[in-house]
Amino acid sequence: MSTAPHRIRVDVETVYLDERSDPGEHRYVFAYTITVRNDGTAPARLLARHWVITDANGKVQEVRGDGVLGEQPYLKPGQGFRYSSGTMIETPVGAMQGSYQMVDDEGLSFDAPIAPFRLAIPGVLH
């Protein structure tokens, strides 16, 4: 079985930023580090991102934008790109998911899904 031309793996690590948060003001800040890796056989460029951020009250924020941190990384097969960013929600627990919009050298666009991941202050979930 051959490897698919478009296979983008997305790994996520999250950290609660206690010093930037203010629970009394319903402000919970999280940093996340994303590693985007091209596990396919075709090079691809990350053009845009789409995030859906949901807090425990069901409040949804959608974020769309070009690239990541002002960059549109070009990933050859086997290459990765790592970056860190952050978000703020109004509850101690929430979730993020989304997708990256990619394009290959032939101009074919495709989405790289970002599986849901949890935002939670330590000790809230067991």
Range of the domain at 15: 8-108
Residue 121 within any structural domain of the chain: no
* CATH number of residue 62's parent domain: 2.60.40.1470
Q: How many domains in the chain?
A: 1
Residue 91 within any structural domain of the chain: yes
Residue 57 within any structural domain of the chain: yes
**Which residue, chain included where needed, has tokens 């949901």?**
54
- Cα distances (Å, whole numbers) of residue 12 to 1, 46, 59, 70, 104: 28, 16, 22, 19, 23
28 forms beta bridges with 89
The pLDDT of residue 81: 97
The pLDDT of residue 42: 96
Along the 126 residues of the chain, how does pLDDT read in single tens digits?
A: 456 889 999 999 999 999 999 999 999 999 999 999 999 999 999 999 999 999 999 999 999 999 999 999 999 999 999 999 999 999 999 999 999 999 999 999 999 999 999 999 998 765
The pLDDT of residue 125: 61
